[in-house]
Chains A and B, each alone.
Chain A
Amino acid sequence: ILNVEQSPQSLHVQEGDSTNFTCSFPSSNFYALHWYRWETAKSPEALFVMTLNGDEKKKGRISATLNTKEGYSYLYIKGSQPEDSATYLCAFIRNSGGSNYKLTFGKGTLLTVNP
């Protein structure tokens, strides 16, 4: 059983605050890591696909870093806005041998941004 842990489970911040969450995953057989944003009653929206150790990606006020050697990724949101309120999910993809790949999601971090 793969453990993909996300912390914190939930977070309440004020509008304008910057925040970050963590996704921890096994450091062996890493293949890729995805970050998603999932708003209530909508479909998950892809934020980043990260494949290389040291990757840093940015999309507007949201950025992510990746450390495959120690098995973690950080997601940062600068200047949070109420519309950033959502569950942020990470998905760890490992090569389980040959051409087999396994994808495991974390339980997510629920972010609530208060105006």
Chain B
Amino acid sequence: KAGVTQTPRYLIKTRGQQVTLSCSPISGHRSVSWYQQTPGQGLQFLFEYFSETQRNKGNFPGRFSGRQFSNSRSEMNVSTLELGDSALYLCASSSGARFTETQYFGPGTRLLVL
């Protein structure tokens, strides 16, 4: 089975712009979660989608949003980028919702905001 894929792998944006990241889960997985990794805050949970519905959300501002399509692919959008949004963004997929199943992580998208 192909693993979780994320595109793009690297991205450079400027403050005020918006960005959309994509995540394709393992075939058959219906849950996709998104995470942000920064040196200062470590790994933080953004949100989880299951069957096209956002099921859980972390403590991030409304500038961070996401969606999931009927094929389980997910996108994350960050609007009005700030310097502090520079981070590694990881997504993970699993077969079940609510974190009771093993999560498989993608390689991540590294975002740099200038």
Q: Which residues of A line the B interface, CB within 8 A?
A: 31-32, 34, 43-46, 49, 51, 89, 91, 93, 99-108
Contact = CB atoms under 8 A, between A and B. Distances in A.
B8 interface: no
A49 B55 CA distance: 19
Contact of A43 (B45, B101, B105): B105
Contacts of A45: 105
Interface residues of B, number: 23
Nearest to B106: A43
A89 B45 CA distance: 13
Contacts of A99: 55, 98
B56 A101 contact: yes
A30 to B, nearest CB: 12
Nearest to B100: A32
Contacts of B43: 44, 89, 91, 105
B106 A101 contact: no
B42 A105 contact: yes
Nearest to A95: B98
A65 to B, nearest CB: 18
Main secondary structure of the interface of A (DSSP, over half): strand
A64 to B, nearest CB: 14
B90 A43 contact: yes
B27 interface: no
Give the one of B45, B48, B106 with max A CB within 10 A.
Answer: B45
19 contacts: A31-B99, A32-B99, A43-B90, A44-B43, A44-B90, A46-B105, A49-B99, A91-B43, A91-B99, A93-B98, A93-B99, A99-B55, A101-B98, A101-B99, A102-B56, A102-B58, A103-B33, A104-B45, A105-B44
Contact of A105 (B45, B102, B106): B45
B100 A43 contact: no
Contact of B102 (A49, A51, A102, A106): A49
Contact of B56 (A46, A49, A103, A106): A103
A103 B45 contact: yes
A44 B105 contact: yes
Interface string B86-114: 00001010000011111111111000000
